Amino acid sequence: MVEIDIDKIDEAVLALLYLTLHDCFRAWKGFDWEAMDRLHRKGLIHDPVGKAKSVVLTDEGLAESERLFRKLFAKPASSDQPAESAARSRR
């Protein structure tokens, strides 16, 4: 069986939380509960336990989720498109 790198799982979950971001700092919490708990213990999200369908990212978690989202999922900016224009296309 393949050994799973839990840190990479957590990074992917945090990056995907950025994809579902709404109200500036809330994200839908439809991910593995163990991963969400680890992100909470790392101080990247507030306690995910509760009836709310979304979770609040901490300031550090918000910044890290954006960084990881760009690292894992963004296409490189083409040479004929200015970097600033490429960044605007995500917004």
What are the structural domains of the chain? 6-75 (1.10.10)
pLDDT at 81 over 70: no
Q: Is residue 26 within a helix (H) or strand (E), and if so which, with residue range? A: strand 26-28
Q: What is the pLDDT of residue 91?
A: 43
Looking at the whole model, is its pTM more than 0.85?
A: no
Taking only the tens place, the pLDDT of each residue in 11-63 is: 999 999 999 999 989 999 899 999 999 999 999 999 999 999 999 999 999 99
Taking only the tens place, the pLDDT of each residue in 15-26 is: 999 999 999 899
Which range has the worst mean pLDDT, 31-40, 61-70, 71-80?
Answer: 71-80
Q: What is the largest distance, in Å, between two alpha-carbon atoms of the chain? A: 47
Residue type for position 65: S
H-assigned helices in 1-91:
6-19, 33-41, 59-73, 83-88
Which two three-digit tokens encode residue 74? 């963004």
Number of residues written out for the chain: 91
d(CA 15, CA 84): 21
Q: Give the Cβ contact number of residue 71 at 10 Å.
A: 10
